[in-house]
Chain A
């Protein structure tokens, strides 16, 4: 009966997340920025006033505010800055979310297995995560891009390779505690299969940690993606991605400063929003995680 109560308590806790979140003061500014970003990413074709790839040499190098058809100005080829920024949001969000999602799923699965099974599997997974955490991320990403070539899927892979280890490490730590609890031991005695125990009894108790790490990591992932794009290791030049736009703006920064200014500003604001949101989520859901 004790175990049932523990499980019930846990379920109550998880059900209480929304209520708890509302009770703690919501970070409205970061949330609105994240909302705007998501809307831009989902509805880029509807929101963008112009085609981001449309070249109109006659309207090239317009400064912001010079011509209200192009509120943020145009680049060397006369492409609309605002539209490119909106499409850039789409690229950034897509690459970052897919990469982070892949890293989170792989890392969480490995963390669950390592924590529950222990033994040599645990040793191998933890050594691998040591290696992944103990190495400069850009260097890892550059090695991967060198082997596989530049391109969107390789950037995603490179980012995923650098983030999975955080999840694996933290989740494993959680599982080590959870697997000693009565409800897990009861399930084992009742003959429930290992996979079932991990999925039904252990995984739900690690969701808080997964959410907190995800929200704390996403800012860094966006920055990493932007850096790789900036270095020309991601999408081809000319694609609307914030990192690439800064790189394009760099060459002409003396002439048309707004080209590099706006995408960089966009990256900063978005990363700030995610970092504040992550801090808030951590403080609300799991104050014991404050060390990360």
Chain B
């Protein structure tokens, strides 16, 4: 177990380092940063001085180490377009994204798991049809489109919910639902197939032969084993929610990391892009690591290689 955790830990650190190298190089591949910071009257002498000030005259490896030590201290540089440091902007945006991701995660689990289980237990009934329909539609419908259609329906047409910005609980409903949309479908699908598999196993047949009541068989014996893969997937979903948050935050004008990233890209604001990409990547890698470790605890059958 300890060995497994150690290996996964080393892997996570290596992935993080690779990500940081990619992010570091991205600012160099797009052109000489010394060039676009110069004024119109500056000549070669100023250019050389600027390069020296920024440390661009040093070898790449040295520059990378400097970059890394700054990043570890949370120093991503100043934003080119907003009069703040990228670190400040990131810290300001992070809570909005986390709150939204957690709301979406809870929604996906409390709707997805029961629907999937119900779909399996009441096979070939209206519940099953509903579960399957939802599972299929969820992975085929673009979330940005669902978002816009829901904004239209619940905003102007029905007038029930606020459709943009961050505020009270009601502001969470639409963005959280849209963000959970695809993962909810995945959870339904997985909960259903996992439950069907367990219901078909020998020990469930035995429990039935023993004369246990159906309710006890399903909810006491089957559910426990069926839920394990769903939990793992659920954990990864939480990490993957960042993937969808870019689109959702843009549509709902949600002031989070995803929107900040897109702003940074559109304005070629490198410190902001680097900060957001590194933060999002680190979050993803760390969540995936925690899920793997948790999974190893929950499921002792996991291989340690």
Chain A bound to chain B: yes
Point out residues on A near B: beta carbons under 8 Å.
130-131, 134-139, 142-143, 145-149, 219-220, 223, 226-227, 230-233, 243, 246-247, 249-250, 253-254, 257, 260-261, 263-264, 267-268, 271-272, 275-276
Main secondary structure of the interface of A (DSSP, over half): helix
Q: How far is the CB of B248 from chain A (nearest CB, A)?
A: 11
Q: How far is the CB of B11 from chain A (nearest CB, A)?
A: 8
B22 neighbours in A (Cβ, 8 Å):
143
Q: Is the CB of A146 within 8 A of B26?
A: yes
Q: Is the CB of A264 within 8 A of B15?
A: no
| Known A-B contacts A143-B26, A275-B136; A246 and B262 likewise in contact (beta carbons under 8 Å) | no
A230 neighbours in B (Cβ, 8 Å):
142, 144, 247
Q: Is the CB of A246 within 8 A of B15?
A: no
Q: Is the CB of A138 within 8 A of B15?
A: no
Q: Is the CB of B142 within 8 A of A226?
A: yes
A135 to B145, CA, bound (A): 24
Q: How far is the CB of A22 from chain B (nearest CB, A)?
A: 25
Contact residue among B136, B145, B284 (Cβ-Cβ distance under 8 Å from A136): B284
Contact residue among A131, A148, A231, A261 (Cβ-Cβ distance under 8 Å from B262): A231
| Known A-B contacts A146-B30, A227-B144, A253-B148; A138 and B243 likewise in contact (beta carbons under 8 Å) | yes
Q: Is the CB of B243 within 8 A of A137?
A: yes
Q: Is the CB of B30 within 8 A of A134?
A: no
Q: Is the CB of A145 within 8 A of B151?
A: no
Q: What 4 pairs across the A-B complex have the smallest Cβ distances?
A: A264-B145, A136-B243, A271-B140, A272-B140
Interface readout for B136-151 with A: 1 if CB under 8 Å, 0 if not?
1101111111101101
Q: Is B277 an interface residue (CB 8 A)?
A: yes
Of A139, A146, A247, A264, chain B has the most CB atoms within 10 Å of the CB of A146
Interface readout for B258-298 with A: 1 if CB under 8 Å, 0 if not?
00011001100000010001001100110010000000000
Point out residues on B near A: beta carbons under 8 Å.
11, 15, 18, 22-23, 26, 29-30, 136-137, 139-146, 148-149, 151-152, 156, 239-240, 242-244, 246-247, 250-251, 261-262, 265-266, 273, 277, 280-281, 284-285, 288
B144 neighbours in A (Cβ, 8 Å):
226-227, 230, 243, 246-247
Q: Is the CB of B142 within 8 A of A249?
A: no
A271 neighbours in B (Cβ, 8 Å):
139-141
A233 to B247, CA, bound (A): 12
Q: How far is the CB of B237 from chain A (nearest CB, A)?
A: 11
A261 to B261, CA, bound (A): 27
Q: Is the CB of A135 within 8 A of B142?
A: no
Q: Is the CB of A231 within 8 A of B247?
A: yes
A254 to B156, CA, bound (A): 7
A145 to B246, CA, bound (A): 15
Residue of A nearest to B147 (CB): A250
Q: Is the CB of A232 within 8 A of B281?
A: no
Q: Is the CB of B265 within 8 A of A145?
A: yes
Of B141, B251, B285, chain A has the most CB atoms within 10 Å of the CB of B141
B250 neighbours in A (Cβ, 8 Å):
231
A268 neighbours in B (Cβ, 8 Å):
137, 140-142, 145
User: A138-B243, A246-B145 known; 18 other A-B pairs, CB under 8 Å?
Assistant: A136-B243, A136-B280, A137-B243, A138-B246, A139-B242, A139-B280, A142-B246, A143-B22, A143-B23, A146-B30, A147-B30, A219-B140, A227-B142, A232-B266, A261-B149, A268-B141, A272-B136, A272-B137
Q: Is the CB of A250 within 8 A of B148?
A: yes
Q: Is the CB of A146 within 8 A of B140?
A: no
Q: Is the CB of B151 within 8 A of A253?
A: yes
Q: How far is the CB of A215 from chain B (nearest CB, A)?
A: 14
A231 to B249, CA, bound (A): 11
Contact residue among A143, A233, A253, A275 (Cβ-Cβ distance under 8 Å from B140): A275
Contact residue among A142, A149, A250, A254 (Cβ-Cβ distance under 8 Å from B261): A142
Q: Is the CB of B15 within 8 A of A131?
A: yes
A275 to B133, CA, bound (A): 13
A201 to B262, CA, bound (A): 47
